[in-house]
Amino acid sequence: MGGTPSLQDWRDRAAKVLPAAGFGNFDPSVVIARGEGARVWDADGNEYVDYLIGSGPMMLGHGHPEVLAAVQEQVAQGFTFFANNAHGIELAEEIAVAMACAGQVRFVSTGSEADMYAMRLARAHTGREKILKFEGGYHGMSGEALMSLAPSKRVNFPQAVPDSAGIPEAVREAMLIAPFNDPDFVRGLLDEHGDEIAGVIVEPLQRLIPPEPGFLAMLREETAKRGIVLIFDEVVTGFRLAYGGGQEKYGVTPDLCTLGKVIGGGFPLAAIAGREEIMAHFDKAKAGDGFTFQIGTLSGNPVASVAGLKTMEVLKRPGAYETLRASGQRVMDAISRELGAAAIAHRVVGDPVLFDVVFTGRDVKNYRDTTDGNAEQAKTFNAVLRKHGILKPDSKFYISLALTEADLERTEAAIAAAAKALV
């Protein structure tokens, strides 16, 4: 007989038509039916407090009424135009005000595109080819980005390790890899290869790992004196660590930054922003042979633009970031309290708006420190949280403004249960 498909029905259908039964993003056994506020429900009606929040963009929660109203109003006027539209221009203006480096803005649809174009701009601007990135840093799905993101083997720096099949050897040879938070190694690498390096790309907060005091300032100083383009990948940190992103929080201004997630309010939208003389490479009339070709069918589309504008408007209101940080700190404190009481070695790593626990007894300063954590304990911890109605990525808690007292109490109870399961 017919009826509403069950969760298992959807899993079976997905296995027939999707490689590995999923979209390539999250655990394919999870099939979400709807979301509201800080909660989501799967196809069987199981309810979760949501710390995945779409991998970050839903900072206001699901179905925020003001965002919903803005989107519905725009949908009635047009989905997309492949031409300038007023809302996209307004969004670019707001980004230029918010981000210290943003003289001009160019829209794309995904963070992967934004990072790829930022590296291309660096090459166009400098006439050099090599890009320096940090082991464990995530910069999308381009060939350059998929070097030493999650290497299966440890090699000597600055050798790059491809994370995917199908990437030409020439791409690997154009990348240099450094350990995050190691200023002496970076200086040495820049001394040796500085005249070959077009750009340094870095997440101001690398995945969960905060920069050591002075590390980002060192990158700014060393790249500036060598004519190297400094790129902050702020796809995750932009409008999250602060309204002005990592640039505001850490007080360091790059040459370019990339943005995504929050600026689209849950719709596909990303951007490259930076100094006008670098962004001018997107202008054929000004750039000449340095012209950097870029188009995209949905770039700056008005539905995503109004969703992003309204999301950013809400985030600017008094108390928004204080509320985000208070909620996140409460979850961080619960993890430390419960795991500490159970005498389980751990470090809570990150910022109150974005963090997780690494099951290790030593400080976490770079990617290799995270891989030295106890993976089985992490797996058990996450599984027990899921069993108790908490949905999160394998290695993050994303905090949203929609979290309520009931959500936080449920989270604390789940954390207590997870800690007991590890004893």
Catalytic residues: 138, 233, 261
- Tokens representing 42 are 């799967």
Is-cis flag, bond preceding 158, omega within 30? yes
Q: How far is CA 244 from CA 255, 259, 264, 314, in A?
A: 15, 11, 16, 14
Rg (CA), the chain: 22
Is the Cβ–Cβ distance between 172 and 128 less than 8 Å?
A: no
- Name the nearest CA neighbour of 406 among 382, 384, 389: 389
Neighbouring residues of 155: CB distance < 8 A, sequence distance ≥ 6:
161
Q: Helix, strand or coil for residue 49?
A: strand
CA distance 330 to 51: 14
Tally of CB atoms within 10 A around 29: 14
- Name the nearest CA neighbour of 148 among 367, 315, 299: 367
Neighbouring residues of 361: CB distance < 8 A, sequence distance ≥ 6:
345, 346, 347
CA distance 138 to 260: 13
Measured CA angle at 201 (ends 195, 205), to 5 deg: 140
Q: Which residue has the tokens 């922003």?
A: 273
Longest alpha-carbon distance in the chain: 71
* Type of residue numbered 294: Q
- Tokens representing 315 are 């985030």
